[in-house]
Each structure stands twice: as structure tokens, then as C-alpha cells.
Amino acid sequence: MEPKNLFKMVVMAFFTVIGQTACYDNREDSYDKVEKVTLYVSDETGSYQPWYSSTSVDCMMVKEEKEQTEYSPLGFFDINGFEYERGYGYILSVEKVTLGNPPANRSGITYKLLDIVSKEAGNGLYKIRVNYFVDADWKEAVSHDIERNPFIPWHCSYLFDEEMGKVKLVDATGKLLARGNVERKIKSEHPDIYRLLPPDEAVVNWNSEWVFTFNADSVNKTVFTYDCCTTKIDGSMYADRIWLYGDWTEYYQKKYPEAGVRAVVCVQKLYWKGIGYDACE
């Protein structure tokens, strides 16, 4: 065999071996890593900017180690089989897959729900139970309207921050309806009309006014003002419940001038977790 041909064969064999090794290494790198991990999901939401959007969106905040102090953002639908409810903290058992060849501009990690280990309401979550009193000639018509009034938070919850200065309004599914601020003021007197719908628990104090300001955008705001009463259940040393009263008499007198409206009172009874919370549906 000529030396020239022999040299060609050696070179070709060398590159064949290199190519096979490279392919083998690529196959090794392309393997997905599958593991079972525990995810801790915060009862507070955060925000992040997904790859497909130019603006930030709300998201879950999660961590893999209980001892970690920092949570990381994760999209609401990024755990397959899991539906997040705002205001609740979770411990989840999930299958975590680290992709060997992740798609461009996408996360290289996927999650699949295996089990919900625990679900607990956050400290700032209050379910709202609405009650009302109507004195009118057309009582049925006014009552029908109250139960469909979009300014009354039927089947909703408030999610307050630790100082109760900021608030989110969420519906029964946990969907965010509005966010805003709460200002609490001292108020020594309240309308006598509230006596038509008195608290059914021992009153601790009735000396404040709560002003909720919900921001639709930087310009448009909706303000709700309530007279606040706090009560306690039997055997408790401290205030356990918040009652937010509103006098809707003038509103319904203007809306139904022929209905003979004499008095309309609505109250929001707020249930904090652990105190009648599960019974409030």
C-alpha cells in the first residue's frame, strides 16, 4: 500500500473515532435528569417577566429547601397538574425534570405534581361573609339587587400584607380581582342605623373607619369607606373578628326612588384562618 493512501486511512480513522466520541458525549449531555423534590409555595405572589412578554405578570413564589429565605418566581401554570389558589401556602411533592436539551428561550426545568402534602391559608387571608338588612316597600327587588351588586364583594377574600396597609381582593377561585391600599382612621361615632344589623359576638371596640382604595390604573381609582367594628368569640381575650359596615340607604333610595327604601345596611364579616374560617363558604 502506498504511504499516501495509508496516511489517508489513518486520518479518516482518527476523525471517525473523534466523531463517535463527540456523538457519545452529546448523547450524554442530552439526557434529562429526573428527580423527586419538595417545593414550598408561598401564600404571597410575586411578579416576573416571561420570555414571551414585554411586561411583568403575577406568578407564584417557590423554593426547594425549607431553610432557604429567598423564593424564586414560577408561573402559575408551570407545575403540571397543579392549580394555585391565591392566599394559600403549599408544600408539594413534585417530579422535577432538568432537560438535557432545553428549547431556546424556555426554562430548562419542568415540574409535575405528585402530591399536595399540605395547603394552609396565609396569615393575611380573610374570607368575607356578606350580610345585609333591608327595610323597603319593594324589599324583594332591593334584596335582589344587593345580591348582584358588583361593588359588594360576594364570595371573595381579602389578602392583606403584614401591616394590613396593602390589600388584594380575590374571588373564590383565588383569581386576583383588584389590589390597593387600606387606611385606618379613628372615628368615635357611627350611624345608629347599624343597630338594625348588630354583631352577634361580643364587641371589643367600634372606633375606627377603614378606607379601601383600589387602583384600576395610575389614574382611575375606586374608594370604599367602611365603619369598622371588632368582636371576640367566647373565651377569647382579644379581638378575633373584623366587621366592615356600610350604609347603603341613600344609594338605593336614588336607584329605586319608588321602592320606598327606608334603610339598607350591608356588613362584611371577615374570617381569619383558624377562627370559623373553614365554615365560611
- Give residue 5's pLDDT: 54
List the chain domain ranges: 33-121, 125-272
- Give residue 10's pLDDT: 46
Provide, rounded to the nearest whole percent, the portion of the chain with pLDDT above 90.
Answer: 44
Residue 272 has pLDDT above 80, yes or no: no
Provide, rounded to the nearest whole percent, the portion of the chain with pLDDT above 70.
Answer: 81
- Give residue 41's pLDDT: 92
* Torsions phi, psi for 194 (to 5 deg): -65, -15
- Give residue 3's pLDDT: 52
Residue 4 grid cell:
499516501
- Please state the rounded mean pLDDT for residues 93-113: 84
- Give residue 117's pLDDT: 93
In this prediction, residue 197 has a pLDDT band, given cuts at 50, 70 and 90, of very high
Higher pLDDT, 214 or 124: 214
Q: What is the pTM (predicted TM-score) of this model? A: 0.65
Q: State pLDDT tens for residues 212-247.
A: 999 876 677 899 999 999 988 776 666 678 999 999
- Cα distance between residue 194 and residue 159, in whole Å: 26
- Give residue 141's pLDDT: 96
In this prediction, residue 17 has a pLDDT band, given cuts at 50, 70 and 90, of very low
Q: State pLDDT tens for residues 52-61.
A: 777 878 888 8
Higher pLDDT, 108 or 94: 94
Highest mean pLDDT among 99-108, 178-187, 236-245, 265-274: 178-187
